[in-house]
Amino acid sequence: MSEAHRREKQPEQVRRSLLDHAARCAVEGGLSSLTLQAVADAASVTKGGLLHHFPSKQALIEAVFADLLERLDMEIDRLLDEDHTQQGRFTRAYVDAFFQVTRDGAKSPWAALSISCMTDQGLRALWSDWMNERLERHAATDSHPAFKLARYAADGIWLANLMETNGIPAEELAGLRDHLKHMTQEEGPK
């Protein structure tokens, strides 16, 4: 009898394992190589067990993306708590969080999922809903055009880093991050 059949049922642990292994598969081979069977095998569950949690490959991919957004949220919240200057606070946290992801480059689960976000309507909707909710929540402190420019620049730098064969050098990334954060401290509404 296999390990998948002997183990006590622990649905949250199984779900977490499936999400983690799906993200790892996406990093190692891109979303095109991610198969339900490969994820099930990596997580030591049956394909039927995987389908119990995620009824399709698309549902699994969207769940991985939603999980990454939740982790991003937690990191942004942590950074917000550390920043005591209200004006531009969300934007500085967003820039910092995305530069952390940027340093990981193609090794980050964000790499495969974010590139797919450009062509996958479901992922694009998840991102758009997430971002709109954050912008609405922080409208009082982060609606100035300079803050929007800094967030868009962070997104562009992240994408440019993915497209570079060896990524943008760490020192250059740090300088760009610092420049964008500096913009949010100087350029806010007067």
Rounded to an integer, what distance in angstroms lies between the CA atom of residue 44 and that of residue 33? 18
Rounded to an integer, what distance in angstroms lies between the CA atom of residue 163 and that of residue 28? 16
Task: Identify the pLDDT of residue 142.
Answer: 95
Residue 64 tokens read as 């991985």
Q: Could you give the C-alpha distances from 113 to 97, 98, 110, 160, in angstroms and in order?
A: 17, 14, 5, 15
CATH number for the 1-55 domain, one of 3.30.930.10, 3.30.70.1560, 1.10.10.60, 3.30.43.10?
1.10.10.60
CB 21 within 8 A of CB 42: yes
Rounded to an integer, what distance in angstroms lies between the CA atom of residue 29 and that of residue 54? 20
Q: Is the pLDDT of residue 140 over 90?
A: yes
For 184, list phi and psi in degrees, rounded to 5.
Answer: -75, -20
Nearest to 94 by CA among 163, 167, 148, 171: 148
Over residues 139-162, mean pLDDT? 91
Rounded to an integer, what distance in angstroms lies between the CA atom of residue 103 and that of residue 143? 27
Task: Identify the pLDDT of residue 29.
Answer: 80
Rounded to an integer, what distance in angstroms lies between the CA atom of residue 32 and that of residue 17? 20
Rounded to an integer, what distance in angstroms lies between the CA atom of residue 167 and that of residue 103? 8
Task: Identify the pLDDT of residue 120.
Answer: 86
Q: For the residues of 101-159, what is the DSSP string, one character each? A: HHHHGGGSHHHHHHHHHTT-HHHHHHHHHHHHHHHHHTHHHH-SHHHHHHHHHHHHHHH
Alpha carbon 16 to chain centroid, angstroms: 16
Task: Identify the pLDDT of residue 2.
Answer: 54
Task: Identify the pLDDT of residue 154.
Answer: 93
Q: Tens of pLDDT along 80-97?
A: 999 999 999 999 999 999
Task: Identify the pLDDT of residue 105.
Answer: 66
Q: Tens of pLDDT along 99-137?
A: 887 777 667 777 777 777 888 898 999 999 999 999 999
Task: Identify the pLDDT of residue 83.
Answer: 95
Task: Identify the pLDDT of residue 32.
Answer: 79
Q: Tens of pLDDT along 36-92?
A: 999 999 999 999 999 999 999 999 999 999 998 998 899 999 999 999 999 999 999
Residue 187 tokens read as 């350029």
Q: Tens of pLDDT along 144-154?
A: 999 999 999 99
Task: Identify the pLDDT of residue 90.
Answer: 97
